[in-house]
Structure 1
Amino acid sequence: MRISVDTEREFLESVFKVQGFNEQDGQLLADTLVDADLRGISSHGIQRLQWYSKMIEDHTLEPKNQPKILNETPTSLLIDADKSMGQIASAFAMRKLIEKAKAGGVALAVIRNSNHFGTAGYYSRMASKEGLIGISTTNTRPLVVPTNSLEAFLGSNALAFTFPADPHPFVFDGATATVSSGKIQVLAKKGEQIPGDWAVDENRNVLHDAKTVEDNLATIAFSDDRPGGGVLTLGGNKEVNSNYKGFGNSLIIELLTGILAQGSLSADTNKAPHDFSQFFMTINPALFGDLETLKANASAMFDRIRHLKHVPGTKIMIPGDREYQNYDDNLKAGINIDGETLAELQAISKQYNVPLPIDEANA
C-alpha cells in the first residue's frame, strides 16, 4: 500500500519526539528517512524505524546526546558523535564543512562513536546545493566476505559523491559491496528472491532466497556467533571477475572511517561499543574555474552519455537520474510500504501511543 508523504513525516517526527530526540533532531531524522523513500531507496527509509527503536532500547544509541568537536582546524574536524544517531552528527559535520570549503576550498571531517546515518547521498547533496563537491562514507556492520574468504569481515561501506550539474546534481550513492543489507531485508519482507549473485553461504555458494540470506546476515551482524557466508564484494563471487577491486574499494572506506576515527572496524561493530565511523569531504570546484562553466561542462557530458546508442528497450541513466524521477513520482503518489513494514509501524504506533493515520483509499 501507499501512505502520503505528510503521514510518514508526521508519524516519524512524533515517534522520535516520544523516543527523546529534540524537535530539530527529530525533524532531521524524519527527513532523511522520507527522502530515502521518495528516492526509491526503501532499504534506508521508514522500514529502518524498527531497528532504530531497538537500538534506543538497548542503548546502542542515546537520543539526547549531541556530537562534540574533539579537534578542529580551518580545513578539518574530528567529531565524537557520543552514541547519537548518525544523521545528527553527519549533518552537523557537513554544515561545518560547507562553511570551511567556501572559505578555504577543501575541508574534511571524521566522525567516531556514531551509528547508522541513513543514505550517504543525503549529506553529499547538502554540499551540491551550495555549489560544492561532496563526498560521504561510512563503515557498517560486518556483512561482506573479502575475495576468497568464507566469512564476513567488511561492511557494505557506502560511498556517495556529488558534483553540481543541471537539471540536477550528479549523485552516485551506493555500497562498495554488491548490495546493501537493507535491499536484501526489503526483499525478505516481500517474500521475494534475490535477482542477482549478491550473497553466498558458508561454502561460498551463491544464495538467492532473501529470507535465508537475511537471517544469516542478522546472525553475523548482531551476535558474537560468526557463521560463514555473507554479501559479495563488487565483482561477484569469482576472482576472475575482478572482485578484488570491490574488495579494495571496501578497504579504502574502512581506512577512511574506522581506522582514521580510531573506532571499530566493521568486523567488530557487532560487539560493544557498537560504533560506526564516518568520513566526509567538501571541495569547492571554483578553485579550478568558474562554477557555472564547470556545471555546464558536466551537464553537457552527461547529456552526451544519455544519448549514446543503446540496447533497444533500455535507457542510459546517469547516477541520480532514477532517484530524482522517483522523488517526483512518489511525491505525488505517496510512499510504497510493504505489509511487514506496515505491521512493524503499527506495533511501534501502539508501543509509543502515536497514531498512524492511514489513507485507506491508497491501500
Structure 2
Amino acid sequence: MVAIGWADVGNLTGSPDLAQILDAVRAKYQFVERESVASYARQLFDFRSTMTPGDLVLLLRRSSPDVAAGHVNGDYQYSRQLPGGYRHIRPVRWAVHDIPRSLIELELRSVPSLLMVHQLDADVDLTRIDELVTKNIRLPATNAATVPEDAGELTPIAHLRANLSYARSLATAGNTLGTLKPQSFDVNDVFRAAWVQAVAGLDHWVRQELRARLRALAEQVGGRKPRRFAELEISLDQVQRVLRDEMSFADAVDEYVTKARGHLAYQQPDRIRDAFSLVTDTANFWNRVATVLRERTDEDKPADGKEVQARLADIVHRRNKIAHEYDEVPNEPGRKRDIDGAAVMRVIDWIDQLCGAILVVVDQDRTGRDLP
C-alpha cells in the first residue's frame, strides 16, 4: 500500500469531489496560507479520486537513490491504525523496490519538489518505466543530467533539475561502487562530489533566476517594480546604445548583471536574499520560505527562517570544507569526515525543495500575496 498524512481532514470515503475535499481542508487548516490549502486539497483529491486501479505508482524516497514502483490495486481507504499520522491509503501491488532513480530521471524531471502526490504530465513517456516494472529489465539510463541542445529554452528551474539529477547520479554511482569495495580510491569522494554538485546547482539556479526575472522586469512597461530594481545603475554608454537601437533596455540590464554581479557566489542565505531583493520584496524572506517548507513538505519541517538559514549555511560550510580542505577532520590530518549516499540524497532533495519554496515566495509577490 501507499499512505499519506493530513490526518486532521478525516475520512474522505464519502467525499469524492474536489470541492468537498477543499471544504474539509479549509475547516481543519484555518491557519495555513490559502495557496497551501488549495495544494493540500488537490493532492488529496488526486490520491482519493484521480488514482484508479491499474495506475502506475512511483515512490521516491528522500534518503535513497532507488525508486519503488507498482500498480494501484484497490480503492481509497481510511485507517487510524498506521503510525505517524498517516490515514489515507491506496492498496498497491509493489513490483520492484530498487529502480535506480538515475534510470528514470528524465521522466521524473517534471515532478514538483514541494508536492507529496503528483500526477505525471500526459506527455511523459512511461514506456521505459513499464518495462522496468513489468519485466524487471534494467534499461540503460537516459542521460538526464546532460543539458540538451536547446538548453537556451530551458527555464532556470529546469536547469536546476538537470544539475541535481547529475548530483543524484553521482550518489547512485557511489553506492554502486561501494559494493565493489575498490582499493585504489575512496568511494566516499564520489559522495563528496555529489554534495559539491548540488550546491553548485543552487548557485547556478539563483544566478539564472535573477537574470530571467530582471529581464522580465526590464521588458515590462509600467507596473509596480521593486525599489532596488529601480535603483539599478547602467552606464551612459549603455544608454546611448539603447537610444541608437543597438541594444534593448532589457539587454542593458542583463549586461549590468553579468558585469556587476557575475563574480558573486549565490550560496549563503544573505547573498541569496540580496539577489532576490532586486526582483521582489524580501521583507521577512526566510520566514516566508520556512512557512512554505513547513506547510508543503512531509518531513524536516523548519520552525522558522533562522532554521532554514542555519541548515543552508551548514550545507554550504560542508561544501567549502570538501572543496578547500579535503573534508579533513580538524587536528586529524588524513582523516576525512564521515559521509554516505543517504546523507547526500537528503541534501540534494532539500536543496530542490528550498528552491521550490523560494519560487513560491517570489511568485506570491509577483501575483499578490493573497492567492486563491
Q: Same fold (TM over 0.5)?
A: no
TM-score, normalization by structure 2: 0.27
TM-score, normalization by structure 1: 0.27
- The structure with the greater share of residues assigned to helix is 2
- The structure with the greater share of residues assigned to strand is 1
Higher relative contact order (CA closer than 8 Å, sequence separation 6+): 1
